[in-house]
Structure 1
């Protein structure tokens, strides 16, 4: 087990705790492999009837450890992503209730280990009043990965497109609206929730399948049990703040052309309409992030729903990662945001309008 991943079994509940607070629980390679090994082991352990994944006081996970990717080789980065995406696929098909506590910062790779939890096995994705979700990859010359383009594309209207192209943030109620979470539990009730899950999973009624054969299969008892326990701690979320943006976002972000989206934002921002200031703020963000990343991300959003499965989307992510890490924008974005922190990346090309569509298409075949 990685030094940054703690595991325990309490009752019939497997608990994984990310413990890398100075890095906001950013996933390094060792953490990814440790999570995968433990989840695989618990999937085959009848006594473990459900799994909780949680972080510390500031958040579940801020994403992948891009600082280490900045200093490593391109091959190192691709190996990391291959292992991370295998973990995401495991979570997406997990056979037992998988309950991520998305308290605080949950971004990038943090959504990869939480938002894909499958409802079919009784999983419940929990947010709190402190939750902040985002896929901020266009800010570092990358593209939303960990299979999230599938969930971004299936968000209501073009809200997912708006968020990921601008690297925007959203709250817990927004995450529920977007389809990335299922229930809101106040942060002060998370510890009691874990205890209640531990007690409930210790009861034989949660078991479904043949323990004598050393197997465990998710069934209605487990699914209902996880749902009922979480529901007993949940509260009605406040109105999703992002919901009102659909009044202008759906029209502006429609279509397959990033330059057309930028043009529509400029037009709306320069108008006297009620959403001019919102469009101006979005345009400012869109002009600050990596132009090539914006174009690739938009293309990925339009392609992903047609691929048919999370696994296929993750294969696409690996191809894109292989292409993106070979471009100077990737390390330049990390340098500007996280290393030198000057906030002045020199993107190539520097404008969305100058992105070569053939280069965008080639990124999908790397």
Structure 2
């Protein structure tokens, strides 16, 4: 875009002022503009112009998750409403998405079970489907006649190597049900195994294997390639009763982390050399975000201030727990829950 008008120093049309493109704005002017934007708004700022995107004066981080609010509505049609909160010191800006689909008449009321790669996995009774709130795409999965406890998926649902995995296990049943399928399959493949009357706490995917953690930290592994199940630990690897509420497992760079909420947080890292959980006093250069699907975020460079912290939702607020101080504080990067009845999950931001 070119400024067609020419002005002299007095503000009147003159004959000596040079036309300049917006892309050639001085760097100090770009700095002033960028300073008024939060880190993720700068993604859009850089995307406007090639020259702006190449400047190094305002680095952009695209790893911090957004907070998604999801709810169902019903008038003459059933619709899904998603609000996206980007992390900001002033988290009032909310991109908004509303979609009406014929399929939602059946799926109305489905709950979010997993959130990865910008996709949501929702489930209602025996029905389950993928939903991308950015592109408004829907991918249906075959019916599964099990009330599974935890579920996740391995990769982007549109990729040929995506697997969906569901597990059902409880303290009232000595059996474990493992189900797996590809998007596009006509049915799930289900294995019924001998269990140990233990509730499944969480499930993650890493390097070709789905890992399932149970009460007291028992860790099982389901290898996709040959559909082999094994118990990696004994049945009570963590002696103390730390599982007062749901424990969260996070896969990060080949490591498995287990976070047990208690008065604060007890954190464990899986030690592959001795095949058991060991207590961890540090997270290293990462931050953990706990939710229906928990994730790790690198905390180096421009995100170094997030290191050694655990972010989570409780009640209507977001909180941050410091591994260094063992204290929690309210996280002001994400807004309070102003609308009751909505589901709130972490979601990875869209690619620009």
Instruction: Calculate the TM-score normalised by the size of structure 2.
Output: 0.29
Instruction: Calculate the TM-score normalised by the size of structure 1.
Output: 0.28
The higher-RCO structure (CA 8 Å, 6+ apart) is 1
Higher strand fraction (1 or 2): 2
Query: Quick check: which has more Rg, 1 or 2?
Result: 2
